Amino acid sequence: MLRFFGDTHINFLGQRKMAYTGSLILIAIGMISIALHGGLKYGVDFQGGTLLQVRFEKPIDAQQIRETLAAVGYADAEIQHFGEPREAIIRVRKAVEGVDVATPILQALNAANPDNRAEIRRQEMVGPKVGSELRTQAMLAVLYAMVGILIYCWFRFEFKFSVGAVAALFHDVTITVGMLSLTGREITLPIIAALLTIVGYSINDTIVVYDRIRENRRKMYGKSFVDIVNASVNETLSRTINTSLTTLLVVAALYFWGGEVIRDFAFTLLIGITVGTYSSIYIASALAVDWMLRTDLKKKGHERERGTRPAVA
């Protein structure tokens, strides 16, 4: 591991086909998971409904809560423990403005468990129309961020670099969302915030590499583009690893000790930062290289075609 902080000469671009294959496998696993689950699992923020965080005096079984709610007309409610057996999250997908869901649920729980009283510690309610609008706006926010980054990289570097950067961001977001589906986590507003954070973090790493490539194209005149990119990734590797490790340490602390409320947010960042670091090294620059190599190949083909074309009398 220490060698990453010294003068490295790793042939990253020589491993790009293996990296592409690994990425496609991860994306495929995520897409299959989403398909098998019938789509993404949206939280109350986007689907509409009521969320209650309930705390009991003693530990209680989730099945017992489920049976109590089914008896009062909430058979479709989702129950899961929240951090400890005494606390539970209750999600009711129906939300009607002006209709109080919390009171009848609390009354039913206390009536069924008189020796284990419950109290509501948190309540969130979102109407279905608002939830649908929030879902659309969240998707547009991620899309606009990527379009803005595409335009920025296009003006600052070259178009092939901007496409490589956005493709890497799409790669990061797709794999992260796939892992959320695979682990059964819901898409909520904090998750969207985490995804946008990942987009910003990943593009920052990529821009650092691209800047070094631009500098080295002037300094290493006469060298092949593959050699220049390899040298640039190696030169920025120490900075990339240091930044990622320190960030991951903070996010890991949030995940393990930050509490249940931000655990999904921290999990999303853990996956996204890891994948984003990987894509900055293996995907963004490699795609730009493949684009240039293909362009050069086509150019040489056209030149050969013109060279062999018979002269016009």
Q: DSSP labels for 39-105? A: S--B-HHHH-EEEEEEEESS---HHHHHHHHHHTT-TT-EEEEESEEEEEEEEE----TT---HHHH
In this prediction, residue 19 carries a pLDDT of 92
Six token digits for residue 14: 């020589």
In this prediction, residue 304 carries a pLDDT of 64
**CA 17 to CA 253: how far, in whole Å?**
34
What residue ranges define each of the domains in the chain, with the CATH number in brackets? 10-40+131-296 (1.20.1640.10), 49-126 (3.30.70.3400)
In this prediction, residue 3 carries a pLDDT of 47
In this prediction, residue 311 carries a pLDDT of 47
**CA 233 to CA 11: how far, in whole Å?**
9
> Which residues make Cβ contacts (< 8 Å) with residue 138, sequence separation at least 6?
46, 189, 192
**CA 229 to CA 210: how far, in whole Å?**
9
For residues 142-154, one letter each, b for 16 or more C-beta atoms within 10 angstroms of the residue's C-beta and e for the rest, the string is beebbeebbeebb
**CA 149 to CA 203: how far, in whole Å?**
8
Pairing mode of beta strands 118-126, 49-56:
antiparallel
For residues 10-32, one letter each, b for 16 or more C-beta atoms within 10 angstroms of the residue's C-beta and e for the rest, the string is eebbeebeebbeebeebbeebee
Identify the three-state secondary structure at position 259.
coil
Six token digits for residue 59: 């530990």
Provide the residue-wise pLDDT of the chain in tens; the chain has 313 residues. Answer: 444 556 778 888 888 999 999 999 999 999 999 999 988 888 877 877 888 899 999 998 888 888 888 888 887 788 888 878 899 888 887 655 556 788 888 889 998 888 999 998 988 877 766 667 777 888 888 888 888 888 888 888 888 888 888 999 999 999 999 999 999 898 888 898 899 899 888 888 899 899 998 899 888 888 888 899 999 999 988 888 888 899 999 999 999 988 777 889 999 999 999 999 999 889 998 988 888 878 766 666 655 656 555 544 3
Task: State how far Cα 234 lies from the chain centre.
Answer: 26
pTM of the model: 0.80
In this prediction, residue 307 carries a pLDDT of 59
